[in-house]
Amino acid sequence: MNSTLLGLPREIKELIYFDALSHAANKILALPLAPDIKHINSNGVTALAQDVQYLTEFVSSLENGQMLRENLEELQQTISLMESDNHEEFFDISIRNKKYGRVDAINGPMLLEK
């Protein structure tokens, strides 16, 4: 796929990456929210955080990576919330807007319960 992308105009490549990253981020976010997942342990959160870090590093290495990283903000903030020891921050509006502004207001509490 990389060789196919090389021949495409820059705008088309950016659109393909943008759509692919949006799809990947949505699917990764959906994993811990699945109804059959009853509990998420710290090892799972750590592994998910590492995967998201690898994805973020890859996106940063791309041309126009800064713009493409915006697709991953909700995912990164959700992982930060899951890693946080102070879950009460999410329920404080001023802190939530600063640290977790992109985290869905319904999904955040669901993840914290798990």
- Rg, Å, the chain Cα set: 16
Mean pLDDT by 10-residue block, N- to C-terminus, for the chain (114 residues)? 71 88 94 92 94 93 86 94 92 92 92 90
C-alpha angle 71-77-2 in degrees, rounded to nearest 5: 30
pLDDT per residue over 81-102, tens digit each? Answer: 999 999 999 999 999 999 999 9
What is the value of pTM for the model shown? 0.83
List of residues 6+ apart from 72 with CB closer than 8 A: 21, 25, 52, 55, 56, 59
